[in-house]
Amino acid sequence: MDSSRSAGIDRRRLLFGSAVIGGGVLLAGCTSNHKEDTPTSDVKTAAASGSGSGNEALGKHVVIGFSAPAADHGWMAAITKNAEAQAGAYSDVHLEAVEGTNDVNAQISQVQTLIGKKVDVLVILPFDGKALTAVSQQAMDAGIPVVNLDRVFDSPLAYRTWIGGDNFGMGLNAGLYIGKTLKDKGVANPVIGEIAGIDNLDLTKQRSSGFRKGLAKYGFKVDIRQAAQFTADSGQQVMSNVLQARSHLDAVWNHDDDQGIGVEAAIKQAGRDEFFMVGGAGSKHAMEEIKADNSVLKATVVYPSNMSASAIRVARLIGQSKGMGDLVGTDLPSSLTLFSATVTKENVDQYLPGAFS
């Protein structure tokens, strides 16, 4: 989940909630060829016939090519499922989805195949943005607009629109929640831990930077920080080390909810409960725990997996030469940054239907 961006994108980006793209309302269900596997509220309804209005009305048939990494992580699996479900909600969209892969060369070859099929629009979440830049630019040069999803390409020449999450904002909101909670409890000099993701990724650096910024508002800082690998096993090992190093903690932010399964296992194994924890990304497992309120996990900050559904909607609008319904003008934005909401016991029911498994 790497959404590092160039300065040019940052200057032009718009901050959007994850439920704003293209208008319409959120449903309790969705239309899909994979109903049993699809999160219930990550896609929006589309007109099944010409009786719709505005952008939802039946329009020009659009073939959308889709390429993403392998679904070897809960968040990434939801990315592909949500894209398929959103495309399935439109009778005027055909999705050409290639098999997810973490092999850069294989993904390049797959995108070249989609270019050869002359799809109308491409939606690409690159395994490695830098490595996929050249092939994406080939698509643009061939007249195929590209929607760059999450992990950014190296050049703005390689895409028409970028859409993704806000890693800095994710860390910022985690820091603000922890800082306010500790202040409200009257904790003067808290011991705060951070279980980061893969440290050499820009997204991890952005999340940590935002976290420090959020804590600084309340005069707090990170006291112990360890990086894991976005896996449950690494989370358990790293959290065990942190607990051994510190006999007392007041709060912990864990960057990733899948990783957090291992983090929580280490906490339970150590019998520690003197602190509270905030998660990251917004998994169903984490939100159910937050709702039950029976563990140290009290909140999570969302990194929306429904961004892929929004990318499909944007790709359809591009293919039909339409603008965004709630904006003035006929051109779509060049960049959309989705908000990282803080989910707590008080608002969890709002976000749980769209959580990834």
- 286-311 pLDDT, tens digit per residue, is 999 999 999 999 999 999 999 999 99
Q: What percent of the chain has pLDDT over 90?
A: 79
Query: Which residue in this structure is represented by tokens 């894991």?
Result: 228
pLDDT digits (tens, 9 = 90+) for 70-115: 998 889 999 999 999 999 999 999 999 999 999 999 999 999 999 9
Closest listed residue to residue 10, CA positions, set 146, 175, 156, 149: 156
Mean pLDDT of the chain: 87
Cα end-to-end distance, the chain, whole Å = 16
Architecture of the domain whose range is 7-165+305-339: 3-Layer(aba) Sandwich (3.40)
Note the pLDDT of residue 42.
Answer: 57
pLDDT digits (tens, 9 = 90+) for 303-337: 999 999 999 999 999 999 999 888 888 889 999 99
Note the pLDDT of residue 7.
Answer: 32
Q: Which tokens sit at 131?
A: 């490595």
Closest listed residue to residue 179, CA positions, set 242, 222, 227, 224: 222
- pLDDT above 70 (res 50): no
Locate the domains of the chain by residue range.
7-165+305-339, 167-302
Strands 342-343, 192-196: pairing is: unpaired
Contacts of 56 (CB under 8 A, 6+ apart): 22, 23, 24, 45, 46, 47
Q: What is the fold of 167-302? A: Rossmann fold (3.40.50)
Instruction: Give the C-alpha separation, 297 to 281, whole Å.
Output: 13
Q: What percent of the chain has pLDDT over 70?
A: 85
For 301, list phi and psi in degrees, rounded to 5: -105, 130
- pLDDT above 70 (res 10): no
pLDDT digits (tens, 9 = 90+) for 148-207: 999 999 999 999 999 999 999 999 999 999 999 999 999 999 999 999 999 988 899 999
Contacts of 146 (CB under 8 A, 6+ apart): 121, 122, 123, 124, 136, 139, 140, 158, 159, 160
